[in-house]
Amino acid sequence: MPELPEVESIRRSILPHVVGIRVATANLYRRDVLVAPGDPPGGFARQRSSAQRPKPVRVRPEHLLEGALITGVERRGKQLALIAELDGGGGGRALVVQLGMSGQFLHRAPGQELPDASHVHAEWMLKRGRRDAGRLVFRDPRRFGGLRAFATTELWTHWNGELGPDALLITPEQLAAAVAGSRRPVKALLLDQAALAGVGNIYADEALFKCGIRPDREAARLKPPEIVRLADEIRQTLAWAVEAGGSTLRSYVDADGNPGTFQLQHAVYGRGGEPCPRCGRTLRSGMLAQRTTVWCMGCQV
């Protein structure tokens, strides 16, 4: 699943294509990938009971920002949002793009085709004045991602209130507050988006290795110097990954279709059974917080 560096890379790559651009038309090809105002909080994609399933509200053009001028692209943790303004006093709106396991959010220039046009669930035709400015495409083969429409930018901000501090900016003081009294393994805490927004399996393993902390250590037992070092390593690891365009392990690409390269710098993630790059011991692999976890028994204590 794309984590903070991948989502931030998409944000940066899509910005020059969309800011100041108007959405001429928007097409939704699967209703269940959109959570519109009035839908159940989790949407309809995984509603199993048809007897209790409410009738979907009608999708209105403004739900998909049709006719709106895009004014920004924001990110909080792993969440990406197009911010737009409607003419005629419609005010600011937000459309969140959640990538899930296999989602892609792409910009195609006029006349540029997709390498794979299957599993396209939504599409936005863009205009700069009267000129064609290309299109945005959301595709998601596994459909664990989706779209979420907010009638105001304030509602988008309020929805984000459930997330913890953004991991790219985490301070030792914020991390200390998150670990205080927590009996969970430190890796489980790092994966909790209410404690720290943006870190997933890849970057939790990498940051913990870099600062020499075992992933199964009880979070509350971290000492103040370890908390400072861990906060620093989280920020630094994420920043390096953003500069490398993120990690491409399966289908992730940025908005221009470019893969990331940070996977070439992974020290431990996905390398269970291989030699530790620091001490040469065999890296251990096991399940922790329902995630495959890799660490070094010699370098991490």
Catalytic residues, by residue number, are: 2-3, 78, 291
Q: How many CB atoms lie within 10 A of CB 1?
A: 18
* Residue 245 and residue 259 in contact, taking contact as beta carbons nearer than 8 Å: yes
Q: How many CB atoms lie within 10 A of CB 140?
A: 25
Q: In what order do the strands lie in the sheet with 69-76?
A: 34-35, 146-150, 91-98, 79-86, 69-76, 22-28, 120-128, 131-139, 104-108
Alpha helices in 46-199 (DSSP H): 153-159, 172-179, 186-191
- Give the residue from 234, 243, 281, 282 showing the smallest Cα distance to 262: 243
Residues contacting 251, CB < 8 A, separation 6+: 102, 104, 141
Distance between CA atoms of residues 16 and 72, nearest Å: 10
